[in-house]
Amino acid sequence: MKRAAAWSILLVGMIYFILPLVGMVEFSLSMKRGIYSFEAYRVVFADPQFRQTFSYSVMMAVLTILFGVLLVVPTAFWVRLKLPGLRPYVEFVTLLPLVIPAIVVVFGYIRLYNTSSWLPMTGSVTGTNLLLLFGYSMLSLPYMYRAIDTGLRTIDVATLTEAAQSLGAGWFTILAKIIMPNVLVAVLSGAFVTFAIVMGEFTLAALLDRPAFGPYLQLMGANKAYEPFALSTIAFIITWACMGLIQLVTRLTKHDKAAR
C-alpha cells in the first residue's frame, strides 16, 4: 500500500514536470500544419542572428568561466588555508548577487562607467564586453564559489599544501597540480551552472546593448510563434547536456572513485 502511494506521488510529480516539456517540444515540432517537422528548428538555425547571438554568448560564457575560475579558486583556497575567520564575510559577499537585482547592477555600471565618467568603459565595444563579463561573473559568483568551496571541503587543503611545500612546490604549482585537479568536478559544476546562466541572461546584455542570446530569445518570443519554443527546447537541451557532462567528468575522474 505504502509502495503504491510512493509510486503514485512519483508519477504525479513526473507528469507535473514532464508534461509542460512534452507540450513545448510538441508545439515546436508543429510549425507545418498537420504534420510534425523540424521546420521551426530549421528556421532558427538558418537565422544569422541566431548564429551570431549564440556564438557571442558561448564565447562570453567561456570567458566568464575562465575569469570566475581564476578569481574564485585562489580566493576560496586562500580563505580556507590562511583566513578561515573571514569565511562568513566572504560567503556573505558571494551571496549578494542573489539579493541585488541585475538591473540595479547594470544601472550602477552605466552610471559609473559611462562615456563621461573617469573610466568610460561603455564608450567602446571591448569595454562594454568587459563590463558584461564582470557582470556575468558577479551573477555566477554564488554558484561558482559554493561549488568550489564545497569541493575544497572534501580535501585536506592545509595538509596537502604543506606536503607539497615540503617537497619544494610553490603556490602556482600547488594550485595548478594539487588543488585544481582535486576540485575539478566542483569547478566543472560551477562552470556548467555559469554557462547556463550566461546563455539565458537578459537584463545585463539588453541594457548594455550587447548581441547576446538572452535578448535574442526575448525578441523571438515577442514576435514569433513556433521559433521561441524551438529555441527553448535548444536551451533546455544545452542545460541538460551540461548536467550530463558533470556526471561524465565525475565518472571519468579516477581518483574520485574512492569518494563515491
Partner 1 sequence: MSYLTLSHLEKSFGPARVVKDFNLTVDQGEFISLLGPSGCGKTTVLRMVAGFELPTAGGITIEGRDVTRLKPNQRNIGMVFQAYALFPNLTVAQNVGFGLKVQGAPKASIKPRVAEMLSLIGLSDLGNRYPFQLSGGQQQRVALARALAPKPSVLLLDEPLSALDAKVRVSLRNEIRQIQRELGITTIFVTHDQEEALSMSDRVVVMHEGIADQVGTPFDIYNRPATRFVAGFVGTLNTLEAKVLDAAAGKVTLGGTEITLPAPLPAGPTVTLGLRPEAIRLSAATGPQLRATIKDVDFLGSVIRLRADLAGQPIAFDTFNTTRVAPPKVGETVALGLDTADLLVIGA
Looking at 23-31, 79-87, 131-139, 248-256, which segment touches partner 1 (CB under 8 A)? 248-256
What is the smallest separation between the CB atom of 133 and partner 1, expressed in angstroms?
Answer: 30
Q: How far is the CB of 110 from partner 1 (least distance, A)?
A: 44
Pick 179 or 230: Cβ nearer partner 1 = 179
> Pattern 143-182, binding to partner 1, x per CB under 8 A?
------------xx--xx-xxxxxxxxx--x---xx--xx
Nearest alpha carbon to residue 188 among 246, 259, 248, 258? 246
* Sign of the alpha-carbon dihedral angle for 111, 116, 120, 124: positive
Give, as ranges, the residues between 79 and 138 that touch partner 1 (CB under 8 A).
none
Minimal distance, residue 171 CB to partner 1, in Å: 9
Note whether 257 binds partner 1 by CB under 8 A.
yes
Size of the site for partner 1 (CB under 8 A): 24
Dihedral over Cα of 242, 248, 251, 253: its sign: negative
Q: How far is the CB of 190 from partner 1 (least distance, A)?
A: 18
Q: Output the 3-class SS for 199-256.
A: HHCCHHHHHCCCCCHHHHHHHHHHHCCCHHHHHHHHHHHHHHHHHHHHHHHHHHCHHH
Contacts 24+ apart (CB under 8 A), 170-179: 175/73, 175/74, 175/77, 179/73, 179/77, 179/152, 179/155
Residue with cell 569518494: 259
Compare residues 95 and 178 and give the one whose CB is closer to partner 1.
178
95: its cell numbers: 551571496
Least separation in angstroms between CB 150 and partner 1: 16
Q: Does 254 bind partner 1 (CB under 8 A)?
A: yes
Task: Please give the residue ranges that form the binding site for partner 1 (CB under 8 A).
Answer: 155-156, 159-160, 162-170, 173, 177-178, 181-182, 254-259
